[in-house]
Structure 1
Amino acid sequence: MFERLPSSWMLALKKVGYWIWLVPVLGIPLSYYWSQGSAYANAWAYLVVGVVFGVIPLLDVIVGRDPANPDEIEDVPQMDKQGYYRLLSLATVPFLLGMLIWAGWAFVNYEAWSWVGQLGWILSVGTVMGAIGITVAHEFIHKDSQLEQNAGGLLLAAVCYAGFKVEHVRGHHVHVSTPEDASSSRYGQSLYAFLPHAYKHNFSNAWALEAERLKRRSLPALHWRNELIYWYVISALFLLGFSLAFGWLGVLFFLGQSFVALTLLEIINYVEHYGLHRRKQDNGRYERTNPTHSWNSNFLLTNLFLFHLQRHSDHHAYAKRRYQVLRHFDDSPQLPNGYAGMIVLAVFPPLWRAVMDPRVRAFYAGEEHQLTDSQLAS
């Protein structure tokens, strides 16, 4: 639909279009109010989940791709300096935290929901906190400013996954698309084999990386300069606050939405690197990360929702590039749909492998030996 528009038009369109993140965030209270007096109150609790994973994949196909890249000489320097894009992403923080607290109140006090509706509410809120909250947090933790670093840590603390702030930057980006990275899924590995290892490793590796950093400063791991301690204390304060305000149901809600959000993050990790790997060189080191080591998805709609997260190939090659100037590369491996559609496929391993395995083999055509035992799922 937009593929033939001039690049300058697309950049102007997206400058406004990034505000689409408000749709799922406001979709939470809207679904609550639309359920008032409805005979299908439980069904309304699933509205956001249904739209994200049912409607958005279809709209991705209809709206189509966005091939426009900002010009490196004329556009990028100017766009990098515009505080508008930074303000836009920072605006998500109060909206998301406000939505989360209000949603906890609704979970406890709305009597029209049975446990079925309450489950749908947790899934919907967790989807928003994972898709929008963690995506924006991911943008922040790659930046140098203390404000953005703290904003990213706060959003991650709100879903009890502060370790991502350390492990993603110092672990995943170092070892991406190698057997050493728990966030890079192997060729033939199912989502359900991937997730338990990702949960465990990404938590423990965050502590190991932070302990290593402190050791270089001759400090013990359990030290006040261990940033993970700060963020997990904030998660504990969130939990305490929900407990005092809403009782045990508030605790259930907060932990439930956290689990949904962090699981959504790990499913996206699974999608982003499935079957791709960096070649090991003669000196024993892996080749430098480049845009061929991540799956790219250039569907316009979900890229607006996710602040260009789907231009993941460019992000891994140039991690500090801001979301508004991330580029599409034609020679990167390409996903057949946006992340929402790919997540739906991933939860059904036979469908996932039927769609993705031929793409992996085609990408390594002529050098199938690259799919060695070390790259295959055990």
Structure 2
Amino acid sequence: MFERLPSNWMLALKSIGYWLWLIPVLGIPLSYYWSLGSEQADAWAWLVVGIVFGVIPLLDFIVGRDPANPDEAEQVPQLEQQGYYRFLSLCTVPALLAMLGWAGWVFVHYQAWSWVGQLGWLLSVGTVTGAIGITVAHEFIHKDSRLEQNAGGLLLAAVCYAGFKVEHVRGHHVHVSTPEDASSSRYGQSLYAFLPHAYKHNFLNAWKLEAERLKRRGLPALHWRNELISWYAISALMLLGFGLALGWLGALFFIVQSLIAFTLLEIVNYVEHYGLHRRKLDNGRYERTNPSHSWNSNFLLTNLFLFHLQRHSDHHAYAKRRYQVLRHFDDSPQLPNGYAGMIVLALIPPLWRAVMDPRVRAYYAGEEHQLTDSQLLPR
């Protein structure tokens, strides 16, 4: 639909389109208000889940792809210096935290929902804190400014996944698409085999990396400068706040939405690197990360919702690039749909393998031995 628009037009359109993140965030209160007095109150609680994983994958096909890349010489320096894009992403922080607190109050006090409606509400809120909150946190933790680092940490604390702040930058980006990385899924590995190891690795490797950083400074792991202690303490304070304000149901709400949010993150990790790996060189090291080591998805609509997260190939090759200047590479391995659709597919392993395994094999055509090597499970 937009593939023939001039690049300048697309960049202008996207500068406004990034505000689409407001739709799922505002969808939470809207679904509550539309359920008031409705005979289908339980169904309204599932509204955001239904739109994200039902409607958006179809719209991705209808809206189509985005071929526009900013000009490296002129547009990229200008776009990176514009405070508008940083302001836009920072606006998500108060909006998401306010939504989370209000949604907890509704979960505890709204009587029209049965357990079905409550489940839909938890899944909807967790989808928003995961898809929008963790995506923006991911953008922030790759930046150098203290404001963005703290904003990213706060959003991750709100879903009890502070380890991602350390492990993703210092672990995943170093070892991506190698057997050493638990966040890079193997060819033939199901989502349900991938998730438990990813959960465990995120916490343990984050702690190991932070302990090593402190050791180099002559400090013990249990020190106030250990940022994991600080961020997990904030998560504990949030949990305590929900418990004191809303009782045990409020605490349960906070824990379950966190579980849903960081599970969504790890499913996205599964999708982003499935079956792809870096070759080991003769010197025993792995080749440098390049755009061929991540799946790319250039569907416009979901890229706007997710701040160009789907241009993941460029992100891994150049991790410091801001979301507004991430590029599409035609020669990167390409997903057949946006992340929303691919997440649904990943939840059904036979369908996932039927769609994705031929693409992996085609990508390694002539080097099929690489597929055998890639099945080595991460440590």
Which of the five TM-score ranges fits, normalised by the shorter chain? over 0.9
Aligned position for 1:136: 136
Counterpart AA for 2:7: S
What residue number does 1:298 align with? 298
Task: Look up the match of 1:342.
Answer: 342
How many Å apart are 1:316 and its aligned residue?
A: 0.1
Deviations 1:278-300 (A, max 9, x none): 00000000000000000000000
Distance, in Å, in 2 between the alignment partners of 1:74 and 1:249 is: 53
**Alpha-carbon distance, 1:367 to partner:** 1.0
Aligned partner of 1:145 in structure 2 is 145
Output the CA distance in 2 between the equivalents of 1:190 and 1:375: 12
State the secondary structure of the residue aligned to 1:371: helix
Cα displacement (A) at 1:377 = 6.0
Q: 1:193 to 1:369 in 2, by over 3 A?
A: same
What residue number does 2:171 align with?
171
Which amino acid is the alignment partner of residue 353 of structure 1?
Answer: R
Question: Which consecutive segments of 4 or more residues in structure 1 shift more than 3 A?
Answer: none
AA in 2 matched with 1:74: E
Deviation of 1:368 (Å): 0.8
**Residue of structure 2 equivalent to 1:18:** 18
Letter of the structure 2 residue corresponding to residue 42 of structure 1: D
For residue 375 of structure 1, report the CA deviation from its aligned partner. Answer: 2.8
Give, in whole Å, the separation in 2 of the partners of 1:20 and 1:255: 27
Q: CA RMSD in A?
A: 0.8
Q: Which residue of 1 aligns with 2:35?
A: 35
Residue in structure 1 matched with residue 204 of structure 2 by the alignment: 204
Tell me how far apart the structure 2 counterparts of residues 371 and 104 of structure 1 sit (CA, whole Å): 45
> 2:303 and 2:372 mapped to 1: Cα distance?
33
What CA deviation, in whole Å up to 9, does each residue of 1:7-33 have, x standing for no partner?
000000000000000000000000000
SS at match of 1:55: helix
Counterpart of 1:277 in structure 2 is: 277
1:264-289: CA deviations, max 9, x gaps? 00000000000000000000000000
Q: Can you list the C-alpha shifts for 1:72-100, whole angstroms capped at 9, x where unaligned?
A: 01100000000000000000000000000
Q: Aligned pair 1:368/2:368, yes or no?
A: yes
One-letter amino acid of the structure 2 residue matched with residue 9 of structure 1: W
Whether contact under 8 Å (1:24, 1:48) holds in the other structure is: yes
Paired AA for residue 317 in structure 1: A
Q: In the superposition, relative to structure 1, how do residues 376 and 219 fare at CA in structure 2: closer, same or farther (>3 Å)?
A: closer
**Residue number in structure 2 paired with 1:122:** 122
- Preserved CA contact (<8 Å) 1:70 1:325: yes
**C-alpha separation in 2, matches of 1:12 and 1:245:** 44
Corresponding letter in the other structure for 1:109: H
Distance 1:284 1:330 in 2: 30
Q: Matches of 2:185 and 2:367 in 1, distance apart?
A: 20
Percent sequence identity is 87
Aligned residue in 2 for 1:237: 237
1:354 Cα deviation (Å)?
0.1
Deviations 1:152-182 (A, max 9, x none): 0000000000000000000000000000000
Amino acid at match of 1:119: L
With over 3 angstroms needed to count, the CA separation of the structure-2 counterparts of 1:374 and 1:277, relative to structure 1, is closer
Give the count of matched residue pairs.
378
CA 1:210–1:376 in structure 2 vs 1: closer, same or farther (change >3 Å)? closer
Any conservation in 2 of the 1:280–1:287 contact (CA below 8 Å)? yes
Change (3 A) 1:258 1:5: same
1:358 aligns with 2:358: yes
- Conserved? CA contact 1:188–1:376, under 8 Å: no
CA distance in 1, matches of 2:235, 2:115: 25
> How many Å separate the matches in 1 of 2:115 and 2:249?
11
1:65 and 2:65 correspond: yes
Shift of 1:373: 3.9
Q: How does 1:76-155 map to 2 (within 5 A)?
A: 76-155=76-155
Whether the aligned pair in 1 keeps the contact of 2:42 and 2:113 (CA below 8 Å) is yes
Per-residue deviation, 1:371: 1.2
Cα distance in 2 for partners of 1:126, 1:203 equals 20
TM-score normalised by length of structure 2:
0.99
Give the Cα–Cα distance (whole angstroms) in 2 for the partners of residues 172 and 74 of structure 1: 32
TM-score normalised according to structure 1 size: 0.99
Q: Shift of the alpha carbon at 1:376?
A: 5.3
What amino acid is the match of 1:293? H
Q: Please list the CA deviations of residues 23-45 of structure 1 after superposition, one character each: whole Å capped at 9, or x if unmatched.
A: 00000000000000001111110
